[in-house]
Amino acid sequence: MASVEIPSRTTSFAGEPQSVTAARIDADEFLYGLAQASPPTTPEHWDDILLVVTELAANAVQFAPGPFDLSMRRTFDGVHVTLHDTNPTPPAPRSFHPRTGGGGVGWHLIHALCDQVSVVTEGGGKDVHVFLPW
């Protein structure tokens, strides 16, 4: 059986506000390369992955001090995204209050767009794993 290379990418970010944009750009570059070999089944899948990566990165910058790592890889039917940050506390849904400036939508949005979401905590932080269709 011939071995097939599974496209993947891992990038480290400083954890500063501009890291959110950098993570989104990194994800877009990964998806562009992936689409050359295997286009998404619908254009919305690309946009959903970018939105989820943006939310995960923004949460890491806001709630976990320090750097974070973003890993992306192709799966049989989608894309597996993992974000590792320095805060071992699992994310929790918050109430959304639009009259007071918003907030609290990201974790709900991640769960709505992803086929599967899991969090693995460890002493030095946590890994948030999400699986999205492609």
Q: DSSP string covering the chain, please?
A: ----PPPEEEEEE--STHHHHHHHHHHHHHHHHHHHHS--SSHHHHHHHHHHHHHHHHHHHHHS-S-EEEEEEE-SSEEEEEEEES--SPP------GGGT----HHHHHHHH-SEEEEEEETTEEEEEEEEE-
What is the band of 5 on the pLDDT scale with cuts at 50, 70, 90? low
Which range is most confident: 74-78, 79-83, 106-110, 122-126?
A: 79-83
Question: What does the pLDDT average to over 127-133?
Answer: 98
Domains and CATH numbers, the chain: 9-133 (3.30.565.10)
- What's the pLDDT score for residue 102? 65
Q: For 6-15, how does the pLDDT look when each residue is reduced to its tens digit (9 = 90+)?
A: 789 999 999 9
pTM as predicted? 0.91
- What's the pLDDT score for residue 2? 47
